[in-house]
Amino acid sequence: MRVGELFEKSDDLLGQQVRIEGFFVYVGSHGYVVDSIELRDDLTCAVKVSIDNLKRVVSSKVPPSGGSKYHYLDSAVLQGVLQVSEEDGFTLQCGNITSFEITKANHHFAVIP
């Protein structure tokens, strides 16, 4: 399901296992998924990726982008439980993640099995 669809159906999907497709962005200290690269800086339409030590976990499996303020800005698919986010700027988050895959330069990387 695309990120925009999650927001449209969030009342029915909270607490449910969801599959999210979009672009994974990691900038500053935040990691999240948005529908398109153009939305990369709009946290109001982003789903926060809730994984402890997220940057370390991702960078151990996927090479970061270079020459940009964005450590990651890549196509991604993840599966986890949709939750209300308690972090400023985010409305929703995905926790209890069971799978997380990033595609960078046509290479697929499994971040979480």
32 touches 90 (CB < 8 A):
yes
pLDDT for res 86: 87
What string of pLDDT tens digits covers the 113 residues of the chain? 999 999 999 999 999 999 999 999 999 999 999 999 999 999 999 999 999 999 999 999 999 988 889 999 999 999 999 999 988 889 999 999 999 999 999 999 999 98
State in words which class domain 3-112 has. Answer: mainly beta
Looking at the DSSP bridge assignments, the partners of residue 97 are none
Measuring CA to CA, which residue among 69, 65, 77 is closest to residue 23? 77
Domain ranges of the chain: 3-112
Please name the residues in contact with 43: beta carbons below 8 A apart, sequence gap of 6 or more: 30, 32, 89, 90
CA atoms within 13 A on the CB side of 11: 1
